[in-house]
Amino acid sequence: MTLALDVSGSHSAARTQTGVQEELISFAIGDEQYGVDIMAVREIKGWSEISHLPKQPEFVRGVLNLRGVMVPIIDLRCRFGGGLTEATPLHVVIIVQIEDQQVGLLADRVLDIVAFETSQMQPVPQVSRNSRTEFLSGLLTIEGGMIAMININHLLQAEQDEPLPDAGS
């Protein structure tokens, strides 16, 4: 299953009377809702078998061959401390562009495309000195819940703040 998305200029940030309008793709990991900037999303695919790589952090499930490009797959549940996802054909991989690399984000399901004004995004509260909030860039309250916006630029950093090896090399 592949879901084609129009990420052309029609989905870019637009000015409204009260602020800048943006869009995100919302998805679920368990009962929690997360989102990524729609401009970073390149494609959404159904789960398929991947090739595992040795000596990678636990949250790196392996790589997916996407039309000749090796795309590392990040298990978001594991990355956020919830254990490994038991991936099934019902799971989805959201392909995002992080700087010059494509990365797949393993999620339970895609929920919606959400338009919001940047002024609606709230900061992530620092609960304790040891809480890890660098993966989140903000919280968006919507009807029926809250979406935690993922800071995709921090997902690939290892625990020691060393970047992961490029799967393409």
Domain ranges for the chain: 2-6+19-50+58-154
What tens digit of pLDDT does each residue of 109-156 get? Answer: 999 999 999 999 999 988 766 666 788 999 999 987 999 999 998 887
Residue 154, Ramachandran bin (φ over 0: left; ψ between -120 and 50: alpha; else beta): alpha
Q: What is the pLDDT of residue 22?
A: 95
State the pairing for strand pair 32-37/145-150.
Answer: parallel
Tallying the residues shown for the chain, one arrives at 169
Does domain 2-6+19-50+58-154 fall under CATH 2.40.50.180? My reply is: yes
N- to C-terminal Cα distance for the chain?
28
Q: Which residues are CB-contacts of 32 (< 8 A; sequence separation ≥ 6)?
A: 148
157 — pLDDT class (breaks 50, 70, 90): confident
What tens digit of pLDDT does each residue of 74-121 get? Answer: 999 999 999 999 999 999 999 999 989 999 999 999 999 999 999 999
pLDDT at residue 20 tops 60: yes
What tens digit of pLDDT does each residue of 30-57 get? Answer: 999 999 999 999 999 999 999 999 999 9
Give the count of beta carbons closer than 10 Å to the beta carbon of residue 18.
10
Q: What is the pLDDT of residue 154?
A: 86
Q: What is the pLDDT of residue 132?
A: 66
Q: Give this prediction's pTM.
A: 0.81
pLDDT at residue 16 tops 60: no
Q: What is the pLDDT of residue 9?
A: 41
